[in-house]
Chains A and B, each alone.
Chain A
Amino acid sequence: MVDLTMVLLAVFAGIALFFAYLAISERNLVRALIYSAVQSSAFAFIFYLLRAPDIVLVYVPISVGIYPAAILFLIRKTKEVEEP
């Protein structure tokens, strides 16, 4: 039952969870954004492992291109560091 796909799924899910934690706890918004983008990239791998290539094709440009760019433009319109 425990095959390579399962192990890889667990690894990428763990990476995603770890970076999600980092993204939430980070006060510097640009760094938080990078952590969040890494998390999305891990999700893209998970979609690939779950045999959903259509989702991967839309998730890769969104997670590494459009999403960080959109949030970066928005961060530039506010402050870079979140206030406590």
Chain B
Amino acid sequence: MRKFLIAAAVIVIAVLASIAATVGGALGPLFNGVRSLAEFYLLNVFNPHNQTLTAMSPEAVTSIVWDYRGLDTLFETVVFYMAIIGCVSLHRGIELIRKRSEAGLSRIVKTVTKILIPLNIVIAASIALHGHLTPGGGFQAGAAMAVAPIIVIVVFSRFFLLRKGVTKEVALSLRSMGLLGIALVALIPLIAWVTTGSAAYVMQNQVKADSSFSFPAYIGGSLVSGSLIWYNIFEFLAVTFGFTIVFLLLSVDEETVRKVLGGEEHE
């Protein structure tokens, strides 16, 4: 009871402090106008008249994430894949056996789940393919897509997923394809440098002051925002299967893991 009172007191103090901070203006204006930094991006993210500064995408966040601050995102992606590689190497030697199994929840839950899978796929794909137009993008879409293998593992068991062909090897290679795609899109400007001799930058999207290379901003009359759509698609692929590998490995029961990784005792 005493603990609960302390916690309640902390909550009340926190709420009062935050009210004082926001109403009293201690943190500065919250929704007051547009700052100069925001003004720059709002003016330039989609600006066909100033090709050297624009990303040709009406979505400011994706433009910043994959164009203006592209290298930051690349390193974030690398950190995420390091974590997945760590998980895979911790589970080395564990074979994901495929066996027939009727495990899982009841038939009603299974039926409802399998209806939801195609809807999950298209919604995630929509988030990825509209990442340069509306809020969303590769990582968001990958996280939404990764929910599908998770619910399949929980509702049907992992043997079902393995039987349908989503094995660790398949997921690893698709994830590597995604990473390779990101690297290729980042390096394509260098091809222009080799062939034409004009300057080019890694992760360049549109033309720059001293470089004439540019990804096509429109394909067949539809806005694709140069490299942004390709980054989103490949990131979508990589994040989806990165999460899939982790959950396939996590769903192996602890006894099997210990048998493989536990080692043996020597006198």
Contact = CB atoms under 8 A, between A and B. Distances in A.
A binds B: yes
Contacts, number: 70
B15 A70 contact: no
A73 B149 CA distance: 14
Give the size category of A's interface with B. 20 to 34
Interface string B37-58: 0000000000000000000000
Interface string A44-84: 00000000011011101110011001100110110000000
Interface of B: 3, 7, 10-11, 14-15, 18-19, 22-23, 31, 61-62, 127, 135-137, 139-140, 143-144, 146-147, 150-151, 154, 243, 246-247, 250-251, 253-254, 257
8 contacts: A14-B15, A17-B14, A53-B135, A57-B136, A60-B144, A65-B150, A66-B143, A73-B251
Given A10-B19, A60-B144, 10 more contacts: A6-B23, A14-B11, A17-B11, A21-B11, A54-B135, A61-B146, A65-B143, A66-B147, A77-B253, A77-B254
Pairs A-B, 8 closest by C-beta atoms: A53-B135, A73-B250, A65-B147, A57-B140, A77-B254, A61-B143, A58-B140, A54-B61
Interface of A: 1-2, 5-6, 9-10, 13-14, 17-18, 21, 25, 53-54, 56-58, 60-62, 65-66, 69-70, 73-74, 76-77
